[in-house]
């Protein structure tokens, strides 16, 4: 018996830890069915579970507006950060040049800086510097901040993919008289593409879930996480649970779908 | 850091890096590739940090709260640090505790994924990342519900008379639990990545030579996973030390961390900008010092 437990100790602990990780997600899900009266913090057995919040996900004032802002910020910031970060990664892996060490540090340090410091420094520059040229806190300052912190994560992801590429594939293409342009577009780019897609998904999820930096640079604009945080004191509407859990399901489906496609390609 | 991004990029097995040929000639190409991204980081990371530093040295116009002039007022640092020393101390203690607990929980999970999971490995990997897909504020609020006085944990402990203060929320225990929870995946993924790269035969050999499971673990497995442990420690400690959401949602006034002070000095205290800037800059300096000690001691390649 003790032996049996000893062999499975790691696996049992692992399952308990996974349970711990999922517990709050389950709570979010369950409380989306709560027929609460004043605040959605305790379960009201009368009339619960109810589907009314799922039928009317925009029913709470402001919730869908904030979701739209988050999605727009996420898409713009992801596109920009993916392009800028991919270019940086190519430069840093494929070229030896002066200032390579400095660029490495420039990419690494934002990831090692606490979000609150990034938010605080951006707030000071936006309020005391860039506002002089007409830039007010709001949608675009959020986008600029999100591009900034997402770039480093894109660089690291694309870099890892580039570093694991076999250079002989490109050499082979050139031996077969492919020019530099067609070598890049026919060989290099398709091979790096999964890394770029992964980086873009990572950038989007970082942007979509960011609260601390957004809170500093958003002014009166409200993203989804900020909406949840602000409405905490008054009570978070169950519609936020509906949207939060739906995002969870969509993202999970994307990841699992991606895995299945990847596995199918390998075979 | 690559550990985290590798895994989240959906690459189940990490291929080893291949030495890349250096391109020579056409010296301007790398700079052209570099320019837009580096410029962006310069304008939105480096310049704001310089601005933050100058703000931290500004003085207030006497009689005009909320108006500052450029100055070299290093006194801001002295007053800020002495006034908010308890919050600073708390940030580092809470973050340290959360990092320790996250390690204790993450290691068995990463170990099971790398060596015991078999064909369930990718499923477990997705399961570790999946909670991230629900907004972290929603999950923190869920913890508030789980740990609340009438919630399952506190009421069970209370009926067993195991809870001295009678409650969990609004205590440091809740804040540390929240921090541990929020940053746990950042600890799991790098440890998993370093264990996954290890050759199971090496560990088996350890078993053959020592026969004792614990000794094998201490002398073989743990050293192999050390790069992952170090990366995980940084990835957990840094965001935990700067966090204020957990302390705000799960704690009370007695559990406020430095992030709470910075946030309220910026937004709720008139004339708080220099103090908040000085605190932010001190936090950043302390954490960067910590990172550089780490990097110096253990090399950069595993972290970058």
Per-domain boundaries in chain A? 72-236
pLDDT at A97: 81
Q: Which residue of A2, A5, A8, A17 is the best one to mutate when testing the B interface, meaning the one whose CB has the most B CBs within 10 A?
A: A17
**CA atoms of A114 and B181, how far apart (whole Å):** 18
More confident residue, B182 or B198: B182
pLDDT at B236: 93
φ, ψ of residue B23 in degrees (nearest 5): -90, 130
DSSP 8-state secondary structure symbol assigned to residue A134: T
The CATH number of B76-298, from 3.90.1640.10, 2.30.42.10, 1.10.3720.10, 3.90.79.10, is 1.10.3720.10
Is A4 near chain B, with CB under 8 Å?
A: no
Per CB-CB distance under 8 Å, the chain A contacts of B242 are 114-117, 212
Q: Of B22, B33, B44, which has the smallest distance from its Cβ to A88's Cβ?
A: B33
Q: Which residue of B16, B29, B133 is the best one to mutate when testing the A interface, meaning the one whose CB has the most A CBs within 10 A?
A: B133
Cis amide linkage into residue B281, ω under 30° from 0: no
Do A84 and B40 contact (CB within 8 A), yes or no? yes
**CA atoms of B143 and B184, how far apart (whole Å):** 14
The CATH number of A72-236, from 3.40.50.10070, 3.40.50.300, 1.10.3720.10, 2.70.98.60, is 1.10.3720.10
Is B212 near chain A, with CB under 8 Å?
A: no
- Chain B residue with minimal CA distance to A142? B44
Which ipTM did the prediction report?
0.86
Per CB-CB distance under 8 Å, the chain A contacts of B280 are 116-117, 120-121
Lowest mean pLDDT segment, chosen from A144-148, B73-77, B81-85, B163-167: B163-167
pLDDT at B1: 37
DSSP string, B191-233: HHHHHHHS-HHHHHHHHHHH--HHHHIIIIIHHHHHHHHHHHH
Spatial CA neighbour of B273 closest among B42, B45, B53: B53
Is A105 near chain B, with CB under 8 Å?
A: no
pLDDT tens string A206-255:
999 899 999 999 989 999 999 999 888 778 888 888 999 998 998 888 88
Per CB-CB distance under 8 Å, the chain A contacts of B38 are 88, 103, 106
| Averaged pLDDT score across all residues of chain B | 82
pLDDT tens string A156-184:
999 888 888 877 888 888 788 777 788 88
A205 and B133 within 8 Å at the Cβ level: the answer is yes
Q: Where are the domains of chain B?
A: 76-298
Q: Of A23, A94, A120, which has the smallest distance from its Cβ to B52's Cβ?
A: A120
Q: Which residue of B1, B10, B212 is the best one to mutate when testing the A interface, meaning the one whose CB has the most A CBs within 10 A?
A: B10
pLDDT tens string B88-133:
999 999 999 999 999 999 999 998 888 887 788 888 888 888 888 8
**CA atoms of B206 and A167, how far apart (whole Å):** 36
**CA atoms of A125 and B61, how far apart (whole Å):** 20
Per CB-CB distance under 8 Å, the chain A contacts of B46 are 106
Do A142 and A223 contact (CB within 8 A), yes or no? yes
End-to-end CA distance of chain A: 41
pLDDT at B8: 40
- Chain B residue with minimal CA distance to A17? B105
Is B226 near chain A, with CB under 8 Å?
A: no
Q: Of A21, A88, A145, which has the smallest distance from its Cβ to B37's Cβ?
A: A88
User: What pairing do the DSSP bridges indicate for beta strands B59-60 and B68-69?
Assistant: antiparallel
Segment B253-265 mean pLDDT: 91
**CA atoms of B110 and B188, how far apart (whole Å):** 6
Is B276 near chain A, with CB under 8 Å?
A: yes
Spatial CA neighbour of B45 closest among A84, A139, A220, A70: A84
Q: Is the dihedral of CA A87, A88, A92, A98 positive or negative?
A: positive
Q: Of B5, B131, B263, which has the smallest distance from its Cβ to A202's Cβ?
A: B5
- Chain B residue with minimal CA distance to A163? B17
**CA atoms of B119 and A241, how far apart (whole Å):** 33
The kind and range of the H/E element at A34 are none
Structure tokens, B13:
């097995």
DSSP 8-state secondary structure symbol assigned to residue B133: G
Per CB-CB distance under 8 Å, the chain B contacts of A18 are 109, 124, 127-128
Q: Across-strand partners of B68?
A: B60
A14 and B113 within 8 Å at the Cβ level: the answer is yes
More confident residue, A4 or A113: A113
Is A135 near chain B, with CB under 8 Å?
A: no
Q: Of B36, B184, B249, which has the smallest distance from its Cβ to A232's Cβ?
A: B249
Q: Of A84, A95, A245, which has the smallest distance from its Cβ to B36's Cβ?
A: A84
Q: What is the pTM of this model?
A: 0.87
pLDDT tens string A73-96:
999 999 999 999 999 999 888 888
Is A104 near chain B, with CB under 8 Å?
A: yes
pLDDT at A133: 74
- Chain A residue with minimal CA distance to B145? A41
Q: List the 236-265 stretch of B: residues with Cβ below 8 A of A.
A: 238-239, 241-245, 249, 259, 262-263
pLDDT at A3: 58
More confident residue, B183 or B10: B183
Q: Across-strand partners of B132?
A: none
More confident residue, B300 or A128: A128
Per CB-CB distance under 8 Å, the chain B contacts of A167 are 18-21
Spatial CA neighbour of A77 closest among A7, A121, A155, A140: A140
Q: Looking at the predicted structure, is the pLDDT value of residue B184 above 50?
A: yes
């Amino acid at each position: 018996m003790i032996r049996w437990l000893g062999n499975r100790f790691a696996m049992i602990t692992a399952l308990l830890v996974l349970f711990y990780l999922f517990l709050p997600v389950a709570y979010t899900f369950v409380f989306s069915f709560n027929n609460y009266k004043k605040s959605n913090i305790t379960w009201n057995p009368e009339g619960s579970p109810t589907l009314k919040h799922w039928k009317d996900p925009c029913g709470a004032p402001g919730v869908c507006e904030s979701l739209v802002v988050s999605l727009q910020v996420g898409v713009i910031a992801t596109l920009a950060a993916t392009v800028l970060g991919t270019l940086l990664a190519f430069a840093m892996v494929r070229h030896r040049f002066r200032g390579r060490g400095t660029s490495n540090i420039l990419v690494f340090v934002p990831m090692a800086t606490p979000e609150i410091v990034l938010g605080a420094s951006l707030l000071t520059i936006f309020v005391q510097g860039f506002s002089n040229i007409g830039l007010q806190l709001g949608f675009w300052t959020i986008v600029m901040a999100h591009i900034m912190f997402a770039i480093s994560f894109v660089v690291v992801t694309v870099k890892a993919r580039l570093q694991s590429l076999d250079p002989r594939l490109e050499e082979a293409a050139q031996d077969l008289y492919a020019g530099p342009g067609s070598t890049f577009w026919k060989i290099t780019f398709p091979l790096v593409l999964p890394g770029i897609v992964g980086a873009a998904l990572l950038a989007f999820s970082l942007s979509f879930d960011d609260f601390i930096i957004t809170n500093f640079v958003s002014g009166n604009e409200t993203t989804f996480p900020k909406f949840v945080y602000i409405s905490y004191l008054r009570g978070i509407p169950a519609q936020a649970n509906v949207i939060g859990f739906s995002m969870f399901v969509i993202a999970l489906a994307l990841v699992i779908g991606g895995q299945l496609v990847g596995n199918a390609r390998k075979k | 850091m690559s550990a985290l991004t590798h895994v989240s990029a959906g690459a189940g097995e990490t291929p080893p890096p291949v030495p890349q040929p250096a391109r020579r000639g056409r010296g301007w190409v790398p700079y052209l590739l570099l320019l837009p991204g580096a410029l962006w980081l310069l304008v939105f990371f480096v310049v704001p940090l310089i601005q933050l530093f100058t703000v931290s040295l500004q003085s207030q116009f006497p009689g005009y709260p909320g108006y500052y002039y450029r100055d070299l007022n290093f006194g801001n640092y002295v007053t800020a640090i002495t006034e908010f020393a308890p919050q600073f101390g708390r940030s580092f203690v809470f973050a340290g505790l959360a990092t320790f607990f996250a390690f204790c929980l993450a290691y068995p999970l990463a170990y099971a994924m790398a060596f015991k999971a078999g064909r369930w490995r990718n499923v477990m990997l997705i399961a570790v990342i999946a909670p991230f897909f629900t907004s972290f504020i929603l999950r923190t609020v869920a913890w508030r519900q789980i740990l609340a006085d009438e919630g399952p944990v506190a009421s069970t402990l209370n009926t067993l008379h195991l809870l001295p203060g009678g409650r969990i929320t609004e205590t440091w225990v809740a804040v540390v639990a929240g921090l541990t929870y929020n940053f746990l995946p950042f600890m799991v993924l790098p440890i998993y990545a370093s264990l996954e790269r290890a050759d199971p035969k090496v560990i088996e050999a350890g078993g053959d030579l020592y026969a004792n499971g614990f000794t094998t673990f201490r002398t073989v497995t743990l050293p192999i996973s050390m790069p992952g442990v170090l990366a995980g420690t940084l990835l957990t400690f840094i965001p935990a030390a700067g966090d204020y959401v957990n302390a705000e949602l799960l704690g009370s006034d007695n559990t406020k961390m430095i992030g709470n002070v910075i946030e309220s000095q910026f937004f709720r205290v008139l004339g708080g900008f220099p103090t908040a800037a000085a605190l932010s800059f001190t936090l950043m300096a302390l954490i960067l010092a910590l990172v550089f000690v780490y990097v110096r001691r253990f090399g950069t390649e595993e972290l970058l």
